[in-house]
């Protein structure tokens, strides 16, 4: 088991990607804290996992609630070995229509909260015996290339990568490893919302699938597999990395053409 007896917090784990990550960590023998602003959802996920799981309500915009989350984790399980900063919100608006309130909401949840919780977690990891731990920040394939109408989200996630690298090189000598995972299109409620907002959901689906080399969205558990690896000692050489788990999206130069080229060159 990759995470035997490790204590791991996963934020935004009351559903979607966070739930998938928490489930994989639990399967790999971790003791998992399910944190979500939707307290009942967090408790429900924890109950579905059974032993070694604790569900807690937490609004990541509140520094006090973040501190209480770590304190409750340590009180219940005795220590903290891993943190997955997954909680986040999206905002799809043209840049000139994005308000300061939109900007503040996205940056406060997607970036500021991850920094504050990482600070609190790292202090705990350095205070316990043995010291050390691992943090995984959930970013996005947008950290390779941007999309229009995503200015606040992209700014927050690019900031998360800078935060990851800076904190990683600072804390690595003290036994704390910090890395990021950048998922592509994941099969969550957000994907369903994107399709529902399109004039033709089927056309939207066909377009996205054509531009993902593996031809489908990624399942939350597939991201969970990458996260569990980064939390584990098997990735002990990885520090400050941004791992793309995107089905090949970031490797494709242009949108896939709706036609086939004739052979060019060769023998």
Tell me the pLDDT tens digit for each residue of 199-218. Answer: 899 999 999 999 999 999 99
Asked whether the CA dihedral 88, 233, 222, 55 is positive or negative, the reply is negative
Length of the chain: 267
The chain-wide mean pLDDT, for the chain, equals: 95
pLDDT at 239: 98
H helices present in 144-188, as ranges = 151-171
Give kind and range of the element (H or E) at residue 34: strand 31-36
pLDDT at 266: 65
Share of the chain above pLDDT 90, in %: 88
Q: Would you say residue 142 has pLDDT above 90?
A: yes
Which token pair is 111?
A: 């970036």
DSSP string, 102-151: HHHHHHIIIIIHHHHHHHHHHHHHHHSSS--EEEEEE--GGGTS--TTBH
Q: Per-domain residue ranges for the chain?
A: 7-183+218-243
State which CATH number among 3.40.250.10, 3.40.50.2300, 3.40.50.720, 3.90.850.10 fits the domain covering 7-183+218-243: 3.40.50.720
Q: Would you say residue 267 has pLDDT above 70?
A: no
Which token pair is 234?
A: 């098997």
* Chain center to CA of 222: 12
- Region 217-242: what's the mean pLDDT? 98
Q: Which residues contact 34 (CB under 8 A, 6 or more apart)?
A: 10, 13, 14, 18, 19, 22, 42, 43, 45, 46, 49, 53, 54, 55, 56
Q: Enumerate the active-site residues.
A: 153
Structure confidence at residue 256 as a pLDDT band (50, 70, 90): confident
pLDDT at 178: 99
Q: Would you say residue 154 has pLDDT above 80?
A: yes
Alpha-carbon span 93 to 95, nearest angstrom: 6
Alpha-carbon span 83 to 122, nearest angstrom: 9
Tell me the pLDDT tens digit for each residue of 178-204. Answer: 999 999 999 998 889 888 888 899 999
Structure confidence at residue 254 as a pLDDT band (50, 70, 90): confident
Structure confidence at residue 258 as a pLDDT band (50, 70, 90): confident
In terms of C-beta density within 10 A (0-12 exposed, 13-18 middle, 19 or more buried), how is residue 232 classed?
buried
Q: Would you say residue 104 has pLDDT above 90?
A: yes
Share of the chain above pLDDT 70, in %: 99
pLDDT at 255: 85
Q: Would you say residue 21 has pLDDT above 80?
A: yes
Structure confidence at residue 265 as a pLDDT band (50, 70, 90): low
Q: Would you say residue 113 has pLDDT above 90?
A: yes
pTM more than 0.85: yes
Label the pairing between strands 31-36 and 53-57: parallel
Closest C-alpha to 55, from 45, 65, 67, 69: 45
Tell me the pLDDT tens digit for each residue of 171-185. Answer: 999 999 999 999 999
């Amino acid at each position: 088991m990759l995470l035997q007896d490790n204590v791991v917090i996963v934020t935004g784990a009351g559903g979607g990607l966070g739930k998938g990550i928490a489930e994989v960590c639990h399967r790999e023998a971790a003791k998992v804290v399910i944190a979500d602003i939707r307290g009942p959802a967090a408790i429900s996920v924890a109950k579905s996992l059974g032993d070694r799981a604790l569900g807690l309500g937490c609004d990541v915009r509140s520094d006090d609630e973040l501190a209480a989350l770590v304190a409750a984790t340590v009180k219940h399980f005795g220590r903290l070995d891993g943190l997955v900063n997954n909680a986040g919100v999206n905002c799809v608006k043209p840049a000139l229509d994005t308000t300061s309130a939109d900007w503040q909401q996205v940056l406060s949840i997607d970036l500021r909260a991850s920094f504050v919780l990482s600070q609190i977690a790292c202090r705990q990891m350095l205070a316990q015996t043995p010291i050390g731990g691992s943090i995984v920040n959930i970013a996005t394939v947008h950290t390779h290339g941007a999309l229009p109408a995503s200015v606040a989200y992209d700014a927050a996630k690019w900031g998360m990568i800078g935060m990851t690298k800076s904190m990683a090189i600072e804390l690595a000598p003290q036994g704390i490893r910090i890395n990021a995972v950048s998922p592509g299109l994941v099969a969550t409620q957000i994907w369903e919302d994107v399709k529902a907002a399109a004039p033709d959901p089927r056309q939207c689906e066909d377009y996205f699938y054509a531009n993902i080399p593996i031809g489908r969205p990624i399942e939350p558990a597939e991201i969970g597999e990458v996260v569990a690896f980064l939390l584990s000692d098997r990735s002990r050489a990885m520090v400050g990395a941004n791992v793309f788990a995107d089905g090949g999206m970031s490797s494709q130069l242009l949108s896939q053409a709706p036609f086939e080229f004739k052979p060019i060159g060769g023998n």
